[in-house]
Structure 1
């Protein structure tokens, strides 16, 4: 009897020990993760020349507060640590080093802008810290071969440019194309992308190229050069200030080319209104997200969830702002990746989950647009839909377009 009890106690103790060992084995943590929390670091231009983007960081913080109030991710609260980088690369380097070395975050998330991301890319890759969903579409941020720890969120500029080239071939096969482009990674990616989309017809169809520096006070001379070259289709690979100047100058000249504008410069408030709503009528671009201003989505469940979040967690924010919709979407994707990690919260597994997205449908993504990544293709957004400005707002048209080619 005594031996039987002893065997029972020993067996039970062994089972408990194995159970504890098994549970411990299933939980894996790197710096920045524990049973209680997941530390995520971010720099945002809360001040400086790009402070208009500050609301993105505020919307992301609001979304994460909502998730934490709902119990967090797999029982863990997300500790989002945000610092101001003033849209200054040296400041971004200083703050990201602080996040990694002092705050000891598990990963960085949605650092905003090409300059700031470029400034910290080598450092984060050297430290093997995930640089998740960088807020830029420059090709260097979807380059798994050279920077395996970096993923951009925005549509790749080269891919977007290639979609425009393919669209032009189909709809305007005899066009004489003039290209205005910003003289940096953004503009050059677009220029090379549209050429790739036009293929062997690029050299004949593009009749003028004109670049500008961000510091240039106007782009009038570039517009005149393109018009004088005989262009009847104008592609503006620009950012808001110059995009608005181009629309305004074209209207003043009485020139009426087909006007294609890149996705970065489609803000109604920052581009179309300053340029003139009537002058902006007919401009063509692309989108991948639902516009809060578009009445099409007023009864959409995803849009309703977004509006509910804004009302409760960011009531001072502009619910109609596409920037806040963007903040909501990127935070939603971060939470998706962390959920997929389960109890394996190592940096390696964060990267694995982020680079193996399968048909992720975000609340504010256009119907039919899904996020997919692979270890060889880091582009989250490869699908876009054409849209045209009607003088008040953007209207979508045509099918969902996908660019599955190389990223440039």
Structure 2
């Protein structure tokens, strides 16, 4: 089965967004705040005092004033959305809009932000319309929050031009990822890479350095991600076997020749930055039929119900996935994960990793907005966001540095057995493994953007963008 080319481009772009497969600590994280009272695991959309370990930023208050675009005495209007209307991949990133919608209801049920109720304008960029929807947002929204547009690079000049800050769910384009007035709960900067998956694989498999190869692709987006991983491997002493397997982005008539190459090459481990699709599944099935038995160490896109439902035959057994997010299987031990799932399920939305990522970005925005009180301005929120240097979304993921646009330095690893994922490293469920060597600098040739001394993209930068101000 061949996959539509444009749909594969979208999947490749999202593979970049999800490639944050790293790391964390021996604790769930508190976002720099005490846990406070209330049940972090409550699935109720009203009355919650916490979200996981994070004290709720939502509640009643007496905030007043039309302080900025999208702000009135009684409401603050934000934009959010995804690419769900993309005809070649229906429902693309739908989980992101579903998550933010559920979080808005959760927050408004407690009184909003200092008493101002949140109004959400939901946008569908449908993959090709990102520039259009950002221009719409420029006219009416206070900020963009928790959105995920695969073609955000095409919209970045408009966002910067109208001085619209964002706490994005994810960014894909290099200039969007490094843009001014941009924060993310889970940053994926072009100049740094979390290699937690590689570091954990080294600990799990003593011969990983000597018997690993990279699965290559004709997809430009996937190739960019793979090049970064290859550079990181070189830096830590891993030399890929170079078995010569490069899969056509449009699909192959037969995957057996590639499986035979892998067998002949003697690869004990395979790394892929690609996303799961019927072609990838056919490759793994062919490898099994060829009598080869490598272990797969793939990126976070492979933590998916699409994969677990496919693996009834066991061809994907031995699949290991590095992640910086808590897997849904850990919901019993991680209250924030259960709370996210309960809130989205109550709205009959789609539960998925990118949804948790969007929920975390909403919480990051809400906490910063809450601290501004009545004086809710874009400048104030940007100031507050820039101060946040440890963030876990209440325990949804490993600690990141949104204020510094730096990735997590931790990871965990799950393994697929038939249709079930299970955390295998660290052994303690709900914990992360961290290390100073879990993040590496990337080759500037792979950046795709020119950065200034503050690590901000210069492509669309103007002199009047909103910059953090020290108090």
Deviation at 1:372, TM superposition (A): 2.4
2:21 matched residue in structure 1: none
Of residues 357-366 and 232-241 in structure 1, the stretch that sits farther from structure 2 once superposed is: 357-366
SS of 2:93's equivalent in the other structure is helix
Residue of 177, 181, 191 corresponding to 1:149: 181
2:242 matched residue in structure 1: 207
Within a 5 Å distance, the mapping from 1:306-345 to structure 2 comes to 306-310=340-344, 312=346, 314=347, 316-317=348-349, 321-322=352-353, 324-345=355-376
2:166 matched residue in structure 1: 131
Q: Is the 8 A contact 2:300 2:322 kept in 1?
A: yes
2:283 matched residue in structure 1: 246
Cα distance in 1 for partners of 2:263, 2:161 equals 47
1:105 matched residue in structure 2: 141
Residue of 91, 96, 109 corresponding to 1:56: 96
Q: Deviations over 1:248-278 (max 9, x none)?
A: 33223221112111112220x2123225451
Q: Does 1:237 align with 2:273?
A: yes
- Distance change in 2, residues 1:47/1:238 (3 Å): same
Q: Does 1:271 align with 2:307?
A: yes
Q: Deviations over 1:270-320 (max 9, x none)?
A: 12322545112121112233333x2x43264334433542465x1x2356x
Q: Is the 8 A contact 2:225 2:273 kept in 1?
A: no
Q: Does 1:285 align with 2:316?
A: no
Q: Deviations over 1:34-61 (max 9, x none)?
A: 3322221123223221415223312311
Q: Does 1:163 align with 2:196?
A: yes
State the structure with bigger RCO (CA 8 A, min sep 6), 1 or 2. Answer: 2
- Distance change in 2, residues 1:392/1:76 (3 Å): same
- Quick check: which one's helix share is greater? 1
1:38 matched residue in structure 2: 76
TM-score by length of 2: 0.67
TM-score by length of 1: 0.76
1:359 matched residue in structure 2: 390
Q: Which runs of 5+ in 1 are unaligned?
A: 1-25
Q: Is the 8 A contact 2:152 2:173 kept in 1?
A: no
2:433 matched residue in structure 1: 400
Q: Does 1:86 align with 2:126?
A: yes
- Distance change in 2, residues 1:385/1:82 (3 Å): same
Cα distance in 2 for partners of 1:213, 1:343 equals 55
1:258 matched residue in structure 2: 295
1:385 matched residue in structure 2: 412
Q: Which runs of 5+ in 2 are unaligned?
A: 1-63, 427-431, 444-471
SS of 2:296's equivalent in the other structure is strand
Cα distance in 2 for partners of 1:351, 1:181 equals 40
Q: Is the 8 A contact 1:329 1:362 kept in 2?
A: yes
Q: After the TM superposition, which parts of structure 1 deviate over 6 Å for at least 4 consecutive aligned residues?
A: none
Deviation at 1:195, TM superposition (A): 2.6
- Distance change in 2, residues 1:255/1:344 (3 Å): farther
Cα distance in 2 for partners of 1:342, 1:218 equals 60
Pairwise CA RMSD: 3.2
SS of 1:57's equivalent in the other structure is helix
Q: Does 1:70 align with 2:110?
A: yes
